[in-house]
Structure 1
Amino acid sequence: MFQSKLPVGVLPAAIALVLSLAFAPGAAAQEDPEAPAPEVALSPVPAGAPTVAGAASRADDDNFMLLREAARQNDDARANAIASRLPVTNYLLASYVDYYRLKPRLRDAIQDEVLQVLRRHEGTAVAEQLRAEWLMELGKRREWNTFEREAGTLAQSGSLPIRCYALLAKAERGERVADEARALLKTPAGYGDACGALIAQLVANGQFTEADLLTQLRLAGLDNASGPARRAAVLLGLPETRATQAVDLPAVAMARGIGNSRAERELYLVAVGRMARTTLRLAVAGLEKNSAQLTAEERAIGWANVALAASIVLAPEAHAYWDRANGAPLSDFQMQWKTRMALRRGDWKTVRATIESMPPALRADSTWVYWLGRAHQGEGRPAEARAQWQSIAGQTTFYTQLAQEELGNQVVAPPPIAPITAAELAQATANQSLQRAIKFYDLRLRAEGNREWSWGLRNLSERQLLAAAELARRNELLDRMVETSLRTRTELSYDQRFPAPHLDVLRPTAQGLSLDKAWVYGLIRQESRFIRDARSGVGASGLMQVMPATGKWVAAKIGLNNFVTSMLNDLHVNITLGANYMTMVLNNFEGSQVLATAAYNAGPSRSRTWRSRLDAPMEGAIFVETIPFTETRGYVRNVMANATNYASIFEGKPQSLKARLGTITPRPSTSVLD
């Protein structure tokens, strides 16, 4: 989405109706722990009741929406009353009636009631959702027998808290789970009470040492997670207020001094890292002042914290800080930024060494496979480089496209797939999870629809996935079509993966602006997945996710009188405003699609700032990989890969992603956008 003011070209005025999308349900209110749970019998609803999405009456759908809201508010009596008005045998969402009826009192529900619903709807998305919520309650109550009997695959693939509870159950029995816990506990911001309890238990039974707690304290500082930092500090024998200060008030913590114990010194280093995020100079000064009181490893840890902060703002001195951090234990996040800064310097030896030191799961990411290949190439080992690239070569994503090009192959759209047959489409239509998903989309409950749709795709063959994607297309669910088709590995349908709807509107707009329509479609695909009435959490609207203030500014520039925000949901208005803005930022950045794409997502001023950090021309792929914002980095990757694929379709000839990325020069640009 673009968040800056912008100018534009031409367009007929049109006013669209405001179409609001209901996204993920909000968190339910906390129920009164003193209130007794009323005894309510659950209505039996067959899991496989045959029906179709349009069979229910509008009254049933209205009642269902009321039931959902009552459940969200933990209003047990109201939920039960509304549920009793809904059909139990021929309503497509009957399984959710059971779920919403039980949800308000799940915390105090009798086990047999929960099991009754789970068994009735076993193998469905709603049963898995209920199971996950119930496991959280069982974990809080330490009812491990039931937890372990019901957890199944969620013990390994569920949410982080559920996986922590699964390990906690074993740890309380005395099983050795420290290694599994270390591999799991890397993101303190998502721990919650479950992971906190796991850490405390591992300390209590001697499986976690002081070194483990110091690691957790360090990770909490890097993650800006004061709660986990406090818990780690208490287990280390420190006042929890000291940890809060180190994370939230680093200047106060640094002024307190370095302390005497190893734990106190680690807190000081956390404060140095937090200070470096706001005032790099003060963090460096504090670390240098107290350097003599630190061990060699502690000094390295401090410089790693400083180096990370310097890297995130692309400060030129980051390289020197990483050199001083040699020997420090690095988090995954730090490893990636150390690698990125080595890329900017062309230090292939450090790129290779740092990637090879990454944990296996991180090292296997296509990003680091590609750059490890480049490091081998840079160090004169072409055979090793080719082996890396061949392991990920493909034609759809950013790094697989780049790997293909390193192997001498450009992006070429594959031939069309064999048409989906009537029998294949009928099988997809009969999939009840997909039916329920379509019903949810009709009710504008996109989060529930997406969950059901994903559930319905489990264990499908490639042809079945393609048929499901065709079903999505026929229901005007282009985002589901794209996501479903992307799951195939050998039979690739570019018609499904890279659709070009509304070409009659976009083509003349792009031609009039001399704008690359492949790039426009690449951006739309990333922005909205072709959901015409998409709305972001910050209010961006429509196919091209135009912000209200931006739309108003553009409308004034192009002479669109009487503009109102609801016009952003008009197809013509949205495309014209977005396309004209793309043209403006492109011109403002001397034709660099990389810089213009970054500007569309993060704003022109940020894109110019990142460019200003260059002191020499830089390869486009390296510039993209070192964009400081995680969201914008992924956004630019995806848009540029999308555009290359679209160009291969529109032009019918091989395309080069590397050529599209080009070289980013340090020349500053004069902007009229901010």
Structure 2
Amino acid sequence: MVRVYRVVAASLAALVLAACSSPGTVQAQTAPADADQVFVALREAARRNDAPTAARLAAQIPDYPAPGYVDYYRIKPTMFDASGRALLDAPDDQIQAFLSRYDGTAIADRMRNDYLVVLGGRHDWRQFLAEYPRFALNDDTQVKCYALEARASKGENVADAARALLVEPRWYGDGCVDLIGALAASGQFTSDDVWAQIRLAYEGNYTSLGSRITDALGSDKPSDATLSMATDKPPLYLAGTIRTNAGAHQLALLAITRMAANDPAQAAIAYAGVEPRLTAQERGIGWAAIAYRAALRQLPSAVDWYRLSVDAPMSNNAYEWRTRAALAAQDWTMVRWSIEAMPPALRNQPSWIYWRGRALAQAGDAVGAATLFQSISGQYNFYGQLATEALGQPITLPPRTPVSATEVRQAAQNPGFALAQRFYSMNLRLEGNREWNWQLRGMTDRQLIAAAAYANQIEVFDRAVNTADKTRVEHDFSLRYLSPFRSIVDRYAASTGLDVEWAYGLMRQESRFIYNARSGVGASGLMQLMPGTADLVARRLGLGRLSRDQINELDMNIQLGTNYLAMVYNQFDQSPVLASAGYNAGPGRSRQWRQALTRPVEGAIFAETIPFNETRDYVKNVLSNTTYYGVLFEGRPQSLKSRLGIISP
């Protein structure tokens, strides 16, 4: 049997011996199995922020080959309570000693991230500003919020930067709630800004967060009973008398936001009685909230309600769905207007550059459209491919940059890669990926290709793909679009009548060729099959009832996955768009989305207007992958547009 994570003892030992002995890297010794078990238990104690247990377990493995992680897992529970809130009395001396000892390592950057959260919670802006420039990844929204608050504490106006940052409430944590309160207290945020954040939280169903943000309103904060009436019983609130003050208007808009989430049509009826009492901008905000929920349900009325939003400010999700509603209605004038009204950071995303270009082309502005298409045609993604075809060019591959065996051997000597392999052998993917990705920072394209080739050589296929994906000028698409297990996939693709490039396009998206991949909802294996789906296909193939281990075995997983994909494909008139959506979200949902169509649409528009975020991105990525695999396997240019086709009701 093929093993994807084949960590052969002899090769790993050689890598470990080659590794430097600096703190945080794998040392030139291996831990006994029981030490590995203690380490995994220590990791779990740290995840729970159980400081006594973590301290006890760490003391049992003083010579573990990954000392930085042992120390991190020991200290981290002293920085946060069981709910994940920062402890303001965290031990600075231990943290700073750790940062000094392991300086420059991935785990030190992780610790600095945690420490910045603690310092932000303390409002220790002097120490925060000393540490923040050394936070290399800088990928924590909460820390970014604290950084803006630190700047504001020195008198800097950060309101615009805060509005641009505060767009996704699920990442706010205490830091962003604190920032909103600080900016409101200093006058940099108006009450309208605060209410926009409250609505944004409730729009995403982060109700506890939304309630916490109301504290930033100060003396204008509504009573708990009034807020509860507006958010939990919006029809009753809207049926009452809406006073003329700004706070009452904002509560009405919050109530509409909540009511629309359950029934946009009923919300529209209720809102019609409230709307005349609101300002012009408030009226637009309310209609945008209703239209957003209607668009998610693919109601034809969404586009009309969105027209009533005019120039009102709204969430990024609402802006995007206004454009999608216009695309579904094939109203290209509205598509253009909607995109041009988006905040700059959103408007400049490849998706909206492409659709804006299409709108310009529909209006007869060929030069303006070509300029937009040209700006993204060099990107190797769904929209870059569509833009390339819009310019009249077929989809091809960039020249391949080969690397030498010497360059691959040099990559193999990287001690961080050895530590990553150790974690992969223990099925600690988070830690393995952290260590692997840390080594990639600052690499040239050739070094990235060599690292990808090395990952492919040791069959860590997902790192090979992701590493090759990072190159900017020089590329190797045979690594970016790997095709392991080719004889098996070819056999089952042929037996089911599937294009082998589509099977690979789907597998690359599903699992990145991780043999033992597990999803949060229970899907598993290379083709990420749900147990019920696997059982269904196995019965149809006459294989009887299979165990979970049998389903996840490489050959069986590919057989079941390709057969299921073929079954779905045949249900949907051999449309790879509908079948890919059905594979991810279930055939029933794909059928429902198709039935919501009122006229034939381009496959690209259908994909863009899929209501599920995961499935929408999934379909785009699978078909983009498939197109590149087609170039690799067939040795000739391809068309993504032809694969997308036309989707009819």
Check if 1:570 corresponds to 2:553: yes
Query: Residue by residue, what CA displacement relative to the aligned partner does 1:214-262 show, whole Å, maximum 9, x if unpaired?
Result: 3223323322222343234441321134334434443343344433321
Q: Does 1:159 align with 2:140?
A: yes
TM-fit CA distance, 1:357: 2.2
Contact 1:594–1:636 (CA<8 Å) still a contact in 2?
yes
Q: Which moved more, 1:393-402 or 1:542-551?
A: 393-402
Deviation, 1:167, is: 2.1
- Per the alignment, residue 134 of structure 1 pairs with 115
Q: 2:198 maps to what in 1?
A: 217
Give the 3 Å change call, closer, same or farther, for CA 93–194 of structure 1 in structure 2. Answer: same
Tell me if 1:58 matches 2:29: no
Residue 101 of structure 1 is matched in structure 2 by 74
Question: 1:152 is paired with a residue of what secondary structure?
Answer: helix
Query: Aligned partners of 1:600 and 1:519: how far apart in 2?
Result: 12
CA gap of 1:434–1:376, structure 2 versus 1, over 3 A, is same
SS of equivalent residue, structure 2 residue 611: coil
Aligned pair in 2 of structure 1 residues 166, 133: CA closer, same or farther (>3 Å)?
A: same
Displacement of 1:134 = 1.4
Note closer, same or farther for the CA distance 1:369–1:153 as it changes in structure 2 (3 Å cut): farther
- Separation of aligned partners in 2, 1:459 and 1:65: 31
Of stretches 334-343 and 168-177 in structure 1, the one that deviates more from structure 2 is 168-177
Query: Aligned partner of 1:69: which letter?
Result: E
Residue 578 of structure 2 corresponds to 595
* Pick aligned residue for 2:309 from 325, 336, 346: 325
Pair 1:546 & 2:519 matched? no
Provide the C-alpha distance between the structure 1 equivalents of 2:372 and 2:126, rounded to a whole number of angstroms.
45
Question: Structure 1 residues 80 and 316 mapped into 2: Cα distance closer, same or farther (>3 Å)?
Answer: closer
Distance 2:54 2:24 in 1: 23
Mark the CA change 1:609 to 1:103 in structure 2 (over 3 Å): closer, same or farther: same
| CA shift in 2, pair 1:72/1:306, >3 Å | closer
Letter in 2 for 1:511: A
CA-CA distance at 1:172 after TM superposition: 3.5
Counterpart among 441, 445, 453 of residue 458 in structure 1: 441
Distance in 1 (CA, whole Å) between partners of 2:196 and 2:361 is 35
The answer to which of 122-131 and 431-440 deviates more is 431-440
**1:1-12 alignment runs, 5 A limit:** none
Partner of 2:176: 195
Q: CA deviation at 1:379?
A: 0.8
Q: Distance in 1 between matches of 2:361 and 2:274?
A: 41
Distance in 2 separating the partners of 1:348 and 1:637: 21
The 1-side partners of 2:224 and 2:172 are apart by: 17
Aligned-residue sequence identity (percent) comes to 45
2:626 maps to which of 632, 643, 663:
643
Range moving further from structure 2, 262-271 or 233-242 = 233-242
Unaligned 5+ segments in structure 1 are 1-13, 20-44, 667-674
Q: CA deviation at 1:576?
A: 1.3
Kept in 2: contact 1:510–1:516 (CA 8 A): yes
User: How many Å apart are 1:185 and its aligned residue?
Assistant: 1.9
Tell me how far apart the structure 1 counterparts of residues 150 and 564 of structure 2 sit (CA, whole Å): 55
Structure 2 unaligned spans of 5+: 6-20, 80-86
Cα drift, residue 78 of structure 1 = 4.5
AA aligned opposite 2:40: M
The two structures, once aligned, show a CA RMSD in angstroms of 2.3
Give the Å deviation of 1:527: 0.5
Asked if 1:83 is matched to 2:67, the reply is no
Q: Does 1:359 align with 2:340?
A: no
**Letter matched to residue 192 of structure 1:** G
1:69 pairs, out of 44, 54, 57, with 44
How far did 1:326 drift?
Answer: 1.4
Moved more, 147-156 or 162-171: 147-156
- Residues 454-478 of structure 1: per-residue CA shift (max 9 Å, x gap): 1110000001001111121122110
My pick for the range that moved more, 527-536 or 214-223, is 214-223
CA distance in 2, matches of 1:259, 1:156: 48
Whether contact under 8 Å (2:235, 2:270) holds in the other structure is no
Deviation (angstroms), 1:643: 0.7
- Aligned-pair CA distance for 1:155: 9.8
Residue equivalent to 2:8: none
Quick check: 549-558 or 163-172, which moved more?
163-172
1:424 correspondence with 2:410: no
* Matching residue of 1:377: 361
Structure 2 counterpart of 1:230, which letter?
A: S
Structure 1, 589-598 or 408-417: larger mean CA deviation: 408-417
Q: What amino acid is the match of 1:47?
A: P
* Gap change, CA 1:156 and 1:464, over 3 Å in 2: closer
Distance 1:217 1:109 in 2: 31
d(CA) in 2 for partners of 1:228, 1:50 = 41
Matches within 5 A, 1:295-444: 295-394=279-378, 396-418=380-402, 420-444=403-427
Q: How does 1:517-556 map to 2 (within 5 A)?
A: 517-556=500-539
The one-letter amino acid of 2:550's match is M
**Which stretch shows the higher mean deviation, 591-600 or 493-502?**
493-502
State the match for 1:3 in structure 2: none
Secondary structure of the 2:376 match is coil
Q: Is 2:608 the partner of 1:608?
A: no
Distance of 1:449 and 1:154 partners within structure 2: 20
Checking the alignment, whether the CA contact within 8 Å between 1:373 and 1:388 is kept in structure 2 is yes
Listed as ranges, the matches of 1:471-490 within 5 Å are 471-490=454-473
Q: Does 1:168 align with 2:166?
A: no
State the one-letter code of the partner of 1:286. A
Contact 1:217–1:233, Cα closer than 8 Å, also in 2:
yes
In the alignment, is the contact (CA less than 8 A) between 1:552 and 1:564 conserved in 2? no
> Per the alignment, in what secondary structure is the counterpart of residue 479 of structure 1?
helix
Deviates further, 211-220 or 657-666: 211-220
Q: Find the aligned partners of 2:353 and 2:347 in 1 and give their Cα distance.
A: 7
Mapped contact 1:552–1:565 kept (Cα < 8 A): no
Maintained 8 Å contact 1:307/1:318: yes
Distance 1:158 1:645, change over 3 A: closer
Equivalent-residue separation in structure 1 for 2:113 and 2:24 (angstroms):
22
- What does 1:498-513 correspond to in 2, within 5 Å? 498-513=481-496
CA contact (8 A) 1:220 1:226 kept: yes
Q: Which residue does 1:33 correspond to in 2?
A: none
Shift of 1:637: 0.1
- Of stretches 207-216 and 283-292 in structure 1, the one that deviates more from structure 2 is 207-216
- Which residue type is aligned with residue 417 of structure 1? T
The CA deviation string for residues 110-164 of structure 1, in whole angstroms up to 9 with x for no partner, is 3222111101111111001111111112222222222221121549934111112
- Check whether the contact 1:338–1:354 (CA below 8 A) recurs between aligned residues: yes
**Aligned counterpart, 2:10:** none
Distance 1:527 1:142 in 2: 43
SS in 2 for 1:370: helix
8 Å CA contact 2:159–2:183 kept in 1: the answer is yes
Give yes or no for contact 2:26–2:66 (8 Å, CA) kept in 1: no
Structure with greater helix percent: 2
Displacement after TM superposition at 1:540 (Å): 0.6
Query: Alignment length, in residue pairs?
Result: 622
The answer for the alignment partner of 1:250 in structure 2 is: 234
Q: 1:289 offset after TM fit, Å?
A: 1.7
How far residue 567 of structure 1 moved from its aligned partner, in angstroms, is: 1.7
* Contact 1:434-1:456 at 8 Å conserved across structures: yes
Which residue of structure 1 aligns with residue 644 of structure 2?
Answer: 661
Give TM-score, length-normalised by structure 2: 0.91
Question: Which letter does structure 1 place at the counterpart of 2:449?
Answer: L
Alpha-carbon distance between aligned partners in 1 of 2:238 and 2:557, rounded to the nearest angstrom: 50
Distance 1:78 1:193 in 2: 26
Q: Does 1:632 find its partner at 2:615? A: yes
TM-score by length of 1: 0.88
State the one-letter code of the partner of 2:58: A
Residue equivalent to 1:204: 185
Contact between 2:25 and 2:419, CA under 8 Å: does it hold in 1? no
1:221 & 1:68 partners in 2: Cα distance? 34
| Distance apart, 1:433 and its partner CA | 2.1
Contact 1:413-1:652 at 8 Å conserved across structures: no
Q: Distance in 2 between matches of 1:202 and 1:659?
A: 51
Contact 1:594 1:640 in 2 (8 A): yes
